[in-house]
Structure formats: structure tokens, C-alpha cells
Amino acid sequence: MKELYLLRNPYVFNGVECRREDSIFSLIGVPFDSTSSYRPGSRFAPQRVREASQNIELYSLRSGLDMERVPIYDEGDLAVVHGDVYEVMKRLEYVVEDIVNEGKVLIALGGEHIITYGILRGFKKPTCVLYFDAHADLRDEYLGYKLSHACTLRRLVEIVGPDKVFIIGLRALCSEEVDYIRKSGIKYLTSLMCQGLSFMDVVNNVRKFLRGCENVYVSIDIDVIDPAYAPGVANPEPEGLSPTYLLNLLSEVINESVWGFDIVEVVPPIDPSGITSVLAAKIINELASYIYIAKGKGGELVRQL
């Protein structure tokens, strides 16, 4: 089924080809940004992040892995219908279901954050969600749409339940979202809390949440990072996390239950330097290496040469 909705991309992630049957990971691009409300252009990210991945070194100092040797099969891009979010979610659901049924770990490269909704619909088992984002994305609707980047987590909660979600890096909300968080009991750590607590207190909070999770999905909106490091985002917010903080945290909490992750909301046209796309490629490689180790495929977290 998935081949009907995928288009090959001339750029292969990391520039490394592998056979699908040999791969641990399947990567798909989702060049969709039709509900973007401020700075559109994340539809260009799948190609730009692939380009960036071919121009950075692939050895991870945290994991001790050379990512050239970690088999990531690049499936290409979802054939999106711009302006039709419902059709895109349907196609994404079909593609993800096939990838998961093949036993692959999913890597999704957006595009805007609403793609996470289509992805979760394609995973037919109970799952927990680690949601890294500056924004709560908990509006019931935005500009008349229930499937909007501003409503993503609200739709995910309807799938998995409020007790299966943990928001990290939060720092931008409306009053509706504040009320919803208080009533629903959704777990969260704001960026200020991350800075105020000791690093290991944050790690232990996340580990405690993950302890009861049979399946885990990680969603990373690049705007969780401070715009000083990631200027090319759809909705920038000051006082964010640093890349080092994010990657160190992920290296401490990722476990064998992770079945997939995404990185979304990179907007290349407003970052001519390309540093946001480079950061996205770096995050993908680092996170994939932690998952590879957690699933017992090799390597260990060494944080040294």
C-alpha cells in the first residue's frame, strides 16, 4: 500500500544507500505545511535536511556510532495533496501502518506538526508520546480547523489519552490551553522548569513517565530549541532549550520501547544560513543512534572518543 503514496527523492538521507530488508529504520519525508499560520515553508524541509545530512560528519560522540553503518532506508516523500489535510492524514496513516508492520523504526521528517496526528493514527497499538515543543498545541480548533498545527496535541490526546502524553520545553500557551492542561492532568516540563531543576531531576521525571509505556513515540518540533540556535522555524519563541540540552536528555531517556520519531516545523526559506536544517539532521542521527543502542543493535553510550 505505501508504495502508492510515496515519491522517491533525489537526495538520500546521509547519502548512504541500503536495502530495505537490511534496514532498522525507515525514513519518510512529509512536505506538507498547508495549515501553517505564521511562517510557512516547512514543506521544503525534507529536501533541505537531506542535503544537510550529506554535508555533516556522521560519527556520534555520545553513542560512539558511525551513522554510515546504521541502516536507514530512505523511503522518499509522501505524495501530499496541498490544501487537503484530511487526505494527507489518510495517506500518512496507510504508509505508517505498513512501515510499522514491517518491523521498522519510523523516522518522519516534516513538514508541519499536524503530520504527527496522521502518524499516530497509523500505529494501531497503545502508545505514549514524548512531545518536545515550545507550544502546547492543545487548542480544540484554530482558524476554524480542528486539524491544524495548533491543535496537534489535542488530537493526539483523543487517540492516546491525557495520561500518555508528556510535553517538554513548553513556554508558549493561550488561556484555553492552560485550562485544558489543568483539567486533563497532562504532564509537562516548561523550558523554565528544565533550567531550574537539576538535569538528573528532569531525566528522572521523564524516565518515571516512560516506565509504564509499552510503546513510545517521540515528536520534536524544532522550535523547542531556542531561536538563537534554530532561527528557521515556523513560530519562534525565546527562552528555549539548547541543542546540547535536548540531545543529552534524549540520550538519557530513550529506551527499547521507542517505535518512531519525527522532527517538524523546520522552515528553510527563512534561514539562508542553513543552520536549522543542519541541526535537524544532527538530531535525527543522534536520536537514531540512541534508539539503535537501546534496541541492542550495537554500540554503547560513551560520550567520548
Model pLDDT, residue 38: 85
- What local confidence, expressed as pLDDT, does residue 17 receive? 87
Distance, CA of 88 to CA of 242 (rounded, Å): 32
pLDDT of residue 161: 97
Sign of CA dihedral 197, 275, 28, 43: positive
What is the pLDDT at residue 144?
82
Q: What is the 3-state secondary structure (H, E, C) of 211-272?
A: CCCCCEEEEEEHHHECCCCCCCECCCCCCCECHHHHHHHHHHHCCCCEEEEEEECECHHHCC
Collect all residues with Cβ–Cβ distance below 8 Å to 157 and sequence separation of at least 6.
138, 165, 184, 186
Q: What is the dihedral of CA 174, 222, 164, 253, to 10 degrees?
A: -140
**Residue 45: its pLDDT value, please?**
98
- As a whole number of angstroms, the distance between CA 27 and CA 78 comes to 11
Residue 298 has a pLDDT of 64
Beta bridge partners of 168: 132, 189
pLDDT confidence of residue 300 = 59
Of residues 289, 225, 301, 292, the one with CA closest to residue 263: 225
Phi, psi of 19 (to 5 degrees): -80, 145
pTM across the whole model = 0.95
pLDDT of residue 2: 62
- Could you tell me the CA-to-CA distances from 252 to 70, 102, 243 in Å, in that order? 20, 27, 14
Residue segments in the chain with a per-residue pLDDT below the cut of 70:
1-4, 298-305
| Confidence at residue 302, expressed as pLDDT on a 0 to 100 scale | 54
Nearest one of 34, 144, 36 to 87, comparing CA atoms:
34
Domains and CATH numbers, the chain: 2-294 (3.40.800.10)
Question: What is residue 67's predicted lDDT score, i.e. its pLDDT?
Answer: 95
7 in helix, strand or coil? strand
